[in-house]
Amino acid sequence: MKKLVMIGNGMAGVRTIEEILKTAPEQFDITIFGQEPYPNYNRIKLSNILQGDTNFEEIIINPLEWYKENQIQLFTGEAVVKIDVEAKRVISDQGREVDYDELIIATGSNSFILPIPGADKIGVTGFRDIKDCEMMIKSAAQYKKAVVIGGGLLGLEAARGLLNLGMKVDVVHLMPNLMERQLDPIASHMLKNELEAQGMNFLMEKETVEILGDERVTGLRFKDGSEVDADLVVMAIGIKSNKEVAKNCGIYVNRGIVVNDFMETSVPHVYAVGECAEHREMVYGLVAPLYEQGKVLANRISGLVGEPYQGSITGTQLKVAGIDLFSAGEIFEDGSTKSIMVYNEYDGIYKRVLTRNNLIVGIVQYGDTKESTKLFRMLTKKEDISGTAIFQTECGTGDSNDVAAMPNDELVCGCNGITKGAIVEAIQTQGLTTLDQVSHCTNAGRSCGRCKPMVSQILKYTLGDQFDAATAQKTSICGCTTVSREELVEEIKAKGLTSVKEVMNVLEWNNEEGCTKCRPAINYYLGMIHMDEYKDDRDSRLVNEKMHANIQKDGTYSVVPRMYGGITTAADLKKIAEVAEKFNVPLVKLTGGQRIGLFGVKKEDLPGMWEELDMPSGYAYGKTLRTVKTCVGAQFCRYGTQDSMALGIELEKKFERLDTPHKVKMGVSACPRNCSEAGIKDIGFVGIDGGWEIYVAGNGGVDLRPADLLCTVKTQSEVMEMTGAYMQYYRETANYLERTSKWVERLGLKHVQEVLADHETRKALNERMDKTLKKYIEPWNEAIQSEEIQDKYYVKHTIMAGSETK
Ligand SMILES: Cc1cc2nc3c(=O)[nH]c(=O)nc-3n(C[C@H](O)[C@H](O)[C@H](O)COP(=O)(O)OP(=O)(O)OC[C@H]3O[C@@H](n4cnc5c(N)ncnc54)[C@H](O)[C@@H]3O)c2cc1C
Ligand SMILES: NC(=O)c1ccc[n+]([C@@H]2O[C@H](COP(=O)([O-])OP(=O)(O)OC[C@H]3O[C@@H](n4cnc5c(N)ncnc54)[C@H](O)[C@@H]3O)[C@@H](O)[C@H]2O)c1
Ligand code: SF4
Ligand code: FES
C-alpha cells in the first residue's frame, strides 16, 4: 500500500480523503495531522454555534470512529512543522516523523490580524475555529461591549452571534458600503438598514490604528483620532493562506501554495487543496470550489483519468436570521454591461442581474433570492438570455411545479455541487425517503444547510404519492435507516427485539452492518428498555467504551481509577505510584474530576495494570456517570452546612457504571459558596440550612450553561430519590448522545419538574433504575478474569485517535 499523508484535518482536506476512499479504498495507508485537537468539523457552522443555533457535537462531520473504521491514523493537536521533500517525510511539532509516497497539504488559512499596536491584548481575537468561538462565548458571559472589525460575511455573522449572546455590538468597516465585494451600494444600504434594526451599530469608513487597554482591551482608536470602547474585539477582515510549511521546504508559493489544474504543487508527489492553495492566481474562501478541487485531486492521486480543475464561479449568502441575500459574479457595471433590475423599496426587495453580450455575468439579490439557483445556473452555464424573462413572479415559489420545471443540471446544493438530477437519481436508485438519507447519500445539505428546503421539495416531487411529509422531515437515527429515535424505541418494545442485529434486520436497515452512529444508539436503547436482562453488545459500543479506557492521540490509553467523591487514601496513592513506576507511565496527572489519571499506557499493558491497581474503573471514557466532585463540607470547612463528601460518595457508589445517553457529571457543595462548581454540572447539589438545593442541566464544556434549580429537599435520602428519578427520566426520554443540558432545554424545565413532582412517578422511575443498576459488573475486573476478553481486545495493534478525559 502507498503511504498517503495529509497535513490539515479541515473541510477541504477530509472531503478529498472521503473522495479517495470512494474511488480507491484499498490503495492508501492514510495518515492525517490536524493542528486542532478535534476530529474534522463543519467550520461554516461556527457562525451557527455563536448565534446559539447548534452545538459543537452537532457540527462534527467525521467522528473519531470514522477515522478508525477507515484505518486512518489521525494525530490531532499536532502540527507538521517541516516537510523533507528529498526524504519524502514530514516532521511534527512533537518530533514525530512520518514517511509519505504522496503528500497533501490542506492547511487552510488563518484569520488576518491587523498589525497595529495592541493587537496582541487579551480580548482580541479572529474568528476561525472553535477556540475563537469559545473565547467569544466566554467573554459575552462576562463583558458587555464588543467591536467587530470588518463588515464582510464573517464580521456580520460574528456580530449577529455576539448580539444573540447579549452584547452591545459595533461593527467597524473600512469602506463606505458593507460587503462591498459581494453587494452593490443599493443592496449594501438595505442590508445595513436591516442590521441596524436588529441592533447592530455601524462605524463606517473608519480605519483602526490602535487597540487600547493595559493587559485587556478597553477600546479602539481610529485614524481620525476618535475612539470607541470595547471589552472584546473580533477581527474579521479577511484571511491569509497557511502556506509557511510549504514555503519553508522550497515549494513555490505566492498568495497561497501555487498548484496546477490537477492540484499538483511545484514539487512532485506533493499536492495542495483548499484555502491554502492558489490556482490560476485565485485563492478561494468558500467550500464549493474547495470541494471541486478535492474531487479533482482525489482522481489524480488515485490514478484515475479525471477532468482538470478550471476554477470556479462562486455564489455567496449571509447566514444571519432575517437576511435573505445572494451574490455571484461581477458586481459593478462597466461600459460593456447592461443591468436588469427590480427595486421594490416598499417590500425591501432588490434584484439586479448584470449582463454582457446576452450572458449573465453578475447577480445581486436582496430580500428575495428564490430565483438565485436558476440565475446562477444561467450564469455558470453561460446560457443565452435573449427572450428569457429573468424575473418571473411565479418563479421559485419552492413548490413541486418549480421542481418539475427545474432542469436536471440545475445546481441545488451550491456547497457540494449537487444538481437536481443527481438527487433525483439517488432517490430513485437507492430508495431514499428522508432528507437525512438524501444528505448522507449525495452530500447535498452537508455543509451550510441552506439548500435543505429545496432538497425536500425534490424529494416530495420525486416520490409523488409515496411521499410522506412526516417521514421525510423526521430525523432518522442515521443514514442507515428512516427510523427515528421514538420509532426505534416503540418498535423494540412492540416487537420484543433483543439484539442490535435483530433490530437492524427486522427494521430493514439499508446497511446490514449499521454504522458508528446507529450501533451504539441501538445498544443503548436496548439496554434501557430491557433493563436487567439485556446482554450488552460490546462491539457495538463507541471505541473508548469498548476498550474501557480512553484512546489518546498517539494510540496509547489513559487509565483513571475510581476515587469516590474525589477522596483517596495513602494506600491507594502508594499503589498508583508503584503501578506508574512499574509500567513506565509517562504522565501522571490530576484530572478535572478530582482523581488521578495515568496517561500513555500501552494497550497490552491495560489488564496487567488494572490487576495491580485493584481499583474499580473510573469510567473516564463512558457515556455514564463520570465523577462526583465534592468540597470538604461540614466535616472540615467552617462554612459547611451539610456533609458533601458523604453525599458525593453515596451518589457515586449508587450510579457508577449506569449507561446514560451521554456522560453525566455531578458536583456536591456543602454551602452556596459552591467550591465544587455544582452550578455547571449535569446535576449539582448545594447544601443550605436544613437541606439541599438540586440543580440540573449545567454544563462546563463548549456549551457553557449555568444549571437551573430543579427543587429543594430536606434530607440525603430525598436527594437520592429525586436524583434516581431524574436520571431515569433522562435515560428514558433523551436521544442517545444528548447531554442533560440540551435535553432539559428540549423538554422544558417546567415539564421535568412537573413529572418529578409526582410521588408515584418518582417511585416507578426509581424502581426501574434499581432494576437496571443490578446488572452492572466491574469491567476491569471482568477483563482480568477473562482470557477471551484479553485476547479479543487487548492484543497489540495500532489505532490512533484524539480523546478526552475527565
Ligand atoms: C465562521 C465561518 C463561517 C463560514 N461560513 C461559510 C459559509 O457559509 N459558506 C462557505 O462556503 N464557507 C464558509 N466559511 C469558509 C469555510 O469554512 C472554509 O472555506 C473551509 O473551512 C476551508 O477548508 P480548508 O480545509 O481549506 O481549511 P480549514 O477548514 O481551515 O482546515 C485546515 C486545517 O488545517 C490545520 N492545519 C493548519 N496548519 C497545519 C499544520 N502545519 N499541521 C497540521 N494541521 C494544520 C488547521 O488547524 C485546520 O484545522 C466560513 C468560515 C468561517 C470561519
Ligand atoms: N456566509 C459565508 O459564505 C461566509 C461566512 C463567513 C466567512 N466566510 C468566508 O470566510 C472568509 C473570511 O471572511 P471575511 O468576511 O473576514 O473576509 P472578506 O475578505 O470577505 O471581508 C473582509 C471585510 O473586511 C473589510 N476590511 C478590511 N480591512 C478592514 C479594516 N482595517 N477595518 C475595517 N474593515 C476592514 C473589507 O472591506 C471587507 O469587506 C472569507 O473567505 C469568507 O468567504 C464566508
Ligand atoms: S462549598 Fe462551602 S462548605 Fe464547601 S468547601 Fe466551599 S465554603 Fe466550605
Ligand atoms: S448549499 Fe450549502 S449545504 Fe447545500
Please state the ipTM of this predicted complex: 0.92
- For residue 634, the CA-to-ligand 3 centroid distance in Å is 8
Q: Which of ligand 2's atoms lies nearest the C-alpha of 317?
A: 1
Please write the tens of the pLDDT for every residue from 466-517: 887 767 767 778 878 888 898 999 999 999 999 999 999 999 987 788 887 8
**Nearest listed ligand to the Cα of residue 454:** 4
Of the candidates 281, 366, 288, the one whose C-alpha atom is nearest the C-alpha of residue 331 is 366
**Residue 711: predicted pLDDT:** 97
**Nearest listed ligand to the Cα of residue 319:** 2
- Ligand 3 site residues (CB inside 6 A) read 631-633, 637, 639-640, 644, 669-671, 673-675
Q: Is 123 left (phi over 0), alpha (psi -120 to 50) or beta?
A: left
**Nearest listed ligand to the Cα of residue 635:** 3
d(CA 109, CA 426): 34
Work out the pLDDT band at 350, boundaries 50, 70, 90.
Answer: very high
- For residue 222, the CA-to-ligand 2 centroid distance in Å is 19
Q: What share of the chain is helix, strand, coil (3-state, %, to 5)?
A: 35, 20, 40
Ligand 1 pocket mutation, candidates 275, 323, 416, criterion most atoms within 8 A of CB: 275
d(CA 703, CA 740): 12
Q: What are phi and psi of 11, to 5 degrees?
A: -65, -45
Is residue 318 in contact with ligand 2, taking CB distance under 6 Å? yes
Q: Which of ligand 2's atoms lies nearest the C-alpha of 284?
A: 41
**Nearest listed ligand to the Cα of residue 44:** 1
**Nearest listed ligand to the Cα of residue 687:** 3
d(CA 267, CA 247): 11
Ligand 2 pocket mutation, candidates 49, 154, 204, 211, criterion most atoms within 8 A of CB: 154
Place of cell 510549511: 245
Please write the tens of the pLDDT for every residue from 206-223: 999 999 999 999 999 999
Q: Which of ligand 4's atoms lies nearest the C-alpha of 446?
A: 3
DSSP string, 627-663: EEEE--GGGT-TT--S-HHHHHHHHHHHHTT-B-SS-
DSSP string, 445-465: TSSS-TTHHHHHHHHHHHHGG
d(CA 207, CA 214): 21
Mean pLDDT of 662-684: 97
Place of cell 480507491: 24
Is residue 450 in contact with ligand 2, taking CB distance under 6 Å? no
Please write the tens of the pLDDT for every residue from 777-800: 999 999 999 999 999 999 854 334
Q: Across the chain, what does the average pLDDT equal?
A: 92
Instruction: Provide the percentage of residues in the chain whose pLDDT is more than 90.
Output: 79
- For residue 487, the CA-to-ligand 1 centroid distance in Å is 37
Contact 158, 136 (CB under 8 A): yes
Please write the tens of the pLDDT for every residue from 575-615: 999 999 999 999 999 999 999 999 999 999 999 999 999 99
Q: Which of ligand 1's atoms lies nearest the C-alpha of 448?
A: 8
The answer, yes or no, to whether residue 766 has pLDDT greater than 60, is: yes
- For residue 738, the CA-to-ligand 2 centroid distance in Å is 34
- For residue 417, the CA-to-ligand 4 centroid distance in Å is 8
Q: Are strands 28-34 and 73-76 parallel, antiparallel or unpaired?
A: parallel
Of the candidates 119, 106, 37, the one whose C-alpha atom is nearest the C-alpha of residue 78 is 37
